[in-house]
Amino acid sequence: MDPATRAVAEDLLEALSESADASVKAMFGGYCVYLEGKVVALVCNGSIFVKRSQADHELEGWATLDTVYPGARLAWRRPDGVVRFLPDRGGLPYAACR
């Protein structure tokens, strides 16, 4: 596992753990992120890919739809280097992962 991916996964886990039951597990060449026992995101190559959900509208214009690897389902790719949500985004990190 590359150090950038591990660092992003650890930062994301710390941010999510402040308000929810979160965990990460190494798999798929990256990390699978669980929130309250459900898969909500993958961290691969230093980027966060949030699973699509009913909260998609909260990520529009801030994240882009992309695939983790060719042939995978579309997921919201968060801007690189951004782990915590900004207050003016309405607490996006947690809301977007539900």
- In the structure, what pLDDT confidence band is assigned to residue 84 with cuts at 50, 70 and 90? low
More confident residue, 84 or 95: 84
Task: Give the pLDDT of residue 77.
Answer: 93
Contact between 52 and 68 under an 8 Å Cβ cutoff? The reply is no
Tens of pLDDT, residue by residue over 28-78, are: 789 999 988 999 999 998 899 999 998 888 888 888 999 999 999 999 998
Task: Give the pLDDT of residue 82.
Answer: 65
Task: Give the pLDDT of residue 29.
Answer: 87
pLDDT exceeds 70 at position 95: no
Closest residue by Cα to residue 38 from 56, 25, 57: 25
